[in-house]
Structure 1
Amino acid sequence: MVSRLILILGDQLSEEIPALAEAKKGEDVIVMAEVRDEATYVRHHPKKIAFLFAAMRKFAARLADAGWDVRYTRYDDPQNAGSIPGELLRRAEETGAQEVIATQPGEWRLIQLLDEMPLPVSQLEDTRFIASHAEFANWAEGRKELRMEWFYREMRRKTGLLMKGDEPAGGKWNFDHENRKPAPDGIEYSGPMQFTPDAVVEEVLDLVEAEFGENFGTLRPFWFATDQGDARRHLAHWIKHGLPLFGDYQDAMLEDEQFLYHSLVGLYINAGLLHPMEVCRAVEAAWQDGDAPINAAEGYIRQVIGWREYVRGIYFLEGPDYSRRNNLNQQRRLPELYWGGETRMNCLAQAVVQTRDEAYAHHIQRLMVTGNFALLAGVNPTEVHEWYLAVYADAYEWVEAPNTVGMSQFADGGVVGSKPYVSSGNYINKMSDYCKRCHYDVKTKTGEGACPFNLLYWHFLDRHRHRFEGNPRMAQMYRTWYRMDEQKRKTILDEAGAFLKMMSDGAVV
């Protein structure tokens, strides 16, 4: 009789996962399952589902080859219970197991489902992260502001990454001011390493096409790595060819250049195929060997041990209600353009088409294009959150919710950011070439052809003035607004209101 089931989830594909480390070969049974509840709680991008199913199947085969007793349930198995708890109960009845060992999931939703199981479930903290829950809580205790920069410095000290004794390499903690160059004329990087689907992947693609073909997103061509070896090859390719200019242009956006110098390593780290410290050590080594400048290495490492660790800490510190917060009480529905509906705004069209085709957009496209527009337009942050969670291959709630609810939509009331990330069309024009071929004129503030970002920027500030006009970081914005003559302000608000009504009525905007 088997005494324990060892649960391995689709984003825990690492042999270092705590539940597996606790398991005893020859005694315990590993349970993995492709289930409807996890594949459908939001309308996941088909590429995301295919990536996880294929990577899960390969990881399960790897464990079986190593001598583990693996009970794997495929999505189309007639006996599939359709949920993680259901599969655990089915396997417990099959094996006689009396206990489940799991690594804590990255979503409160699934944590609570395991807590409610009739079978005892031990949830071990996920040790793939640099900071434990207790460590982050201790850092946060008593602080008036939970600013990432201060937490990041603690993670630098803890890991020793880019450190010279007690001091930061290069004499500064942060080289962000060197990482804001506008879009270049051309890109010297061919993009992420792409892998031809093998028999396992092709079988998964056929399944996903049949079961999820109506979901938003293009399934084929599919080129993601689906095992640790290929993920590592991709990492080495990017470090050699993409990292050197990553820092300079990490905020830039270009038509027909979906990837620029970005790593696309996040989906592999978040699924467990790569360890964050493995990635950061490789980036650090490239700097030490003179193959990448410090602004690129520091900028990337900050995203991993700084921002990634920070948002995870926020998610678990703030509790299960975090993803549903709506501090600004924004209630407008997410417009159809986010699901591929027609729009005359070229920046949004570019970001959404790229998202549809690649299940990817980089952080500025997410924050300052799709996120900025949703915030300015007053879209309900829960709908925005569910969209980001669905459409990106690297999205899991622990990382996505603080980025969306907190940083992008300011729906947490300032836990993550000290002010909302809003801008007019000028920022997008500065950092991209999107405005050159847009129906609207980014330099036109009101009237025929005025850029919607210009109108909505002031509309947002006006309707939330009682909340933000006392914010020191926004004082200059409000001084500019109040210096405008009354008729100009009225024109802006009237035209913004008319635009929002058209959008809500389903007109093409």
Structure 2
Amino acid sequence: MVRRLVLVLGDQLSPDVAALRRADKAQDIVVMAEVRDEATYVPHHPKKIALVFAAMRHFAEGLRRDGWQVAYTRYDDADNAGSIPGELMRRAGETGAQAVIATEPGEWRLIAALQDCPLDMTILPDDRFLCPRADFEGWAKGRKDLRMEWFYREMRRRTGYLMEGGAPAGGKWNFDASNRKPASRDLLQAHPMAFAPDAVTEEVLALVEAHFSDNFGRLRPFDYAVTRGQARQALSHFVRHQLADFGPGQDAMLEDEPYLNHARISAYMNIGLLSPREVCDAVQAAWEAGEVPVNSAEGFIRQVIGWREFVRGVYFLEGPDYPRRNALNHQRGLPPLFWGAETRMNCLARVVGQTRDLAYAHHIQRLMVTGNFALLAGVNPAEVHEWYLAVYVDAFEWVEAPNTVGMSQFADGGVVGSKPYVSSANYIDRMSDYCGGCAYSATTKSGEGACPFNFLYWAFLDRHRDRFEANHRMGLVYGTWDRMEPARRDAILSDATRFLDALSAGKPV
């Protein structure tokens, strides 16, 4: 048999990934590499780089124990080619192998790089997902609108999760009414499971400190799972200690309480240490055993088989240009406050500070604080996209781009969402305790001390009236704007102009 190279990427750390299933352990050589191109195409958070490199090294050792021959390149190896195709070419030269088996990458950029590699390349579908790409394309064909809710219901029927016969458990497809409550403090709040770095991980941390110390984000303390066994422990811990209370507070935000009842396992799924099926199976089992209420089980499973599968389908359906779309023609540069510069807006300072420290923020912090602000301020969505891709430990383009370019910034013109996710300060005040310690007043709409979210909200709607006025979900809002006294509208727009001018000038806001 002719020896082949078997490519395993840093987000494909699953023992049953397609390329490994197709390979011959007795003959083929697994190629894994920590390369400059993947570590620097955006300025990744140091914790993200450390997680991927440490998990790769542990995974490679597991493959060797299982009898595989692994050609592994470390970031600081002198002969590192610096790119995935370069490493494949180098290993081909060393071994004489001319054929490569790969599992399809999750980014168009890397798919193109593999397709351009001058080796005999076989790229297999990534079947670790619950909805194959072809199935999503079939579901989307002929639909005027792609709405996650309808996709989610189809996925519930397909998988059988939280179904009772042909009906949804509890008689409803979603329990949003029960799952969007403000948070209250609990002195006994459980937290996601944390792990002390072992010798392998400590070696990676030293490497990251040496090469990426200028990147935004704090590397230490580092407490992420880096093996499949640890990731499974983190899942079990979440199901046992946090899942029951996950639903009601999943949208809530509290100062100095970054996790609440969130699992912090998305990164483990996104690099392959956990599969979406085993995660949902664990949640389903806990619900069937009566250990968690249906609203919490549904709220969590929706995130996995609904949003996660949906955005992957959208990313591949829409094509390589998707991350560069800018339907609203927003051109403002990303404000320095996103990189930790001074701001008097407490909600932004808290979320950006948490992101710097943890490489983590939950979905509402991303959508309704940083994302909401960027959209209202008219920031170029390509810059917003690159920021999210850089700073979060679970950010890979297939999942990040539709959530940012589509759901958060409405830059895809409505592919992901039927309306922009914008709000005034009222939403943040209701769902968090950020506003109590802020220099601005959430209840002041304009003038001295008014929260910028308030006047930016109305200025955004006024600026994009031609696009959104006919939207059936926004007509009432425009009616409210029209009923305001002209002098009040003028004051709001003047406040917004002064604020945005200061933002563009780099002044603290």
* C-alpha RMSD of matched pairs (Å): 0.8
The alpha-carbon deviation at position 173 of structure 1 amounts to: 1.3
Distance 1:130 1:233 in 2: 22
Deviations 1:24-62 (A, max 9, x none): 011111000000000000000000000000000000000
For 1:235 and 1:18, the matched residues in 2 are separated by 24
The residue aligned with 1:246 is 246
Question: What secondary structure does 1:423 align onto?
Answer: coil
Aligned equivalent of 1:95: 95
Conserved 8 A contact 1:189-1:241: no
Q: Does 1:36 align with 2:33?
A: no
Following TM superposition, by how much is the alpha carbon of 1:156 offset from its aligned partner in structure 2, in angstroms? 1.0
Structure 2: which amino acid aligns with 1:320?
P
Distance in 2 of aligned mates of 1:437 and 1:268? 34
Does the 8 A contact of 1:337 with 1:343 survive in 2? yes
Q: What SS does structure 2 have at the residue aligned with 1:194?
A: coil
**Post-superposition shift, 1:2?**
5.3
- Alignment: residue pair count: 509
String of CA shifts for 1:109-159, please: whole Å, max 9, x gaps.
000010111112111110100111110000001111111111111111111
1:421 deviates by 0.3
Paired with 2:193 and 2:471, the residues of 1 have a C-alpha distance of 45
Question: Which residue of structure 2 lines up, in the alignment, with residue 378 of structure 1?
Answer: 378
DSSP 3-state at the match of 2:405: helix
Q: How far does the alpha carbon of each residue in 1:449-508 deviate from its partner, in whole angstroms, 9 at most, with x for none?
A: 110000100010011011111111000110011111111111110110000000110100
SS of 1:72's equivalent?
Answer: strand
Separation of aligned partners in 1, 2:369 and 2:440: 15
Which residue of 2 is the match for residue 151 of structure 1? 151
Q: CA deviation at 1:190?
A: 2.8
Paired AA for residue 336 in structure 2: E
Q: Which residue of 2 aligns with 1:23?
A: 23
Q: Which residue of 1 aligns with 2:497?
A: 497
Q: Is the 8 A contact 1:181 1:431 kept in 2?
A: yes
**How far is the alpha carbon of 1:164 from its aligned partner?**
1.4
1:37 is aligned with what amino acid?
Answer: D
Partner residue of 1:12?
Answer: 12
Give identity over the alignment, percent: 68
Structure 1 distance, partners of 2:159, 2:10, is 27
- Corresponding residue of 2:479: 479
Secondary structure class of the residue paired with 2:21: helix
Q: Could you tell me how far apart the structure 1 residues matched to 2:317 and 2:401 are?
A: 13
Output the amino acid matched with 1:351. V
**Aligned mates of 2:466, 2:170 — CA distance in 1:** 43
> Cα offset for 1:176?
1.5
Offset of 1:187 from its aligned partner? 5.6
Determine the structure 2 residue equivalent to 1:328: 328
Q: 8 Å contact 1:2–1:96 — kept in the other structure?
A: no
Alignment map for 1:283-322 (pairs within 5 Å): 283-322=283-322
Using the alignment, how far apart are the partners of 2:466 and 2:150 within structure 1?
Answer: 29
Partner residue, 2:49:
49
Amino acid at match of 1:90: R
Per the normalisation by structure 2, the TM-score is 0.99
Counterparts of 1:214-229 in structure 2 under 5 Å?
Answer: 214-229=214-229
Unaligned runs of 5+ in 2: none
Residue 265 in 1 paired to residue 265 in 2?
yes
Give the match for residue 168 of structure 2.
168
Aligned to 1:201: 201
Q: Secondary structure at the match of 2:42?
A: coil
5 Å-filtered alignment, 1:273-284, equals: 273-284=273-284
Show structure 1 runs of 5+ residues with no match: none
Q: What is the TM-score with the length of structure 1 in the denominator?
A: 0.99
Aligned equivalents of 1:183, 1:310: Cα separation in 2: 28
Could you tell me which amino acid in structure 1 is paired with residue 438 of structure 2?
C
**Secondary structure at 1:439's aligned position in 2?**
coil
Distance in 2, matches of 1:262 and 1:163, equals 24
Counterpart of 2:9, as a letter, is: L
Q: Which residue of 1 is the match for residue 343 of structure 2?
A: 343
How far off its partner does 1:170 sit?
Answer: 1.3
> What letter corresponds to residue 194 of structure 2 in structure 1?
Q
The reply to whether residue 188 of structure 1 matches residue 188 of structure 2 is yes
Q: Describe the SS at the equivalent of 2:119.
A: coil
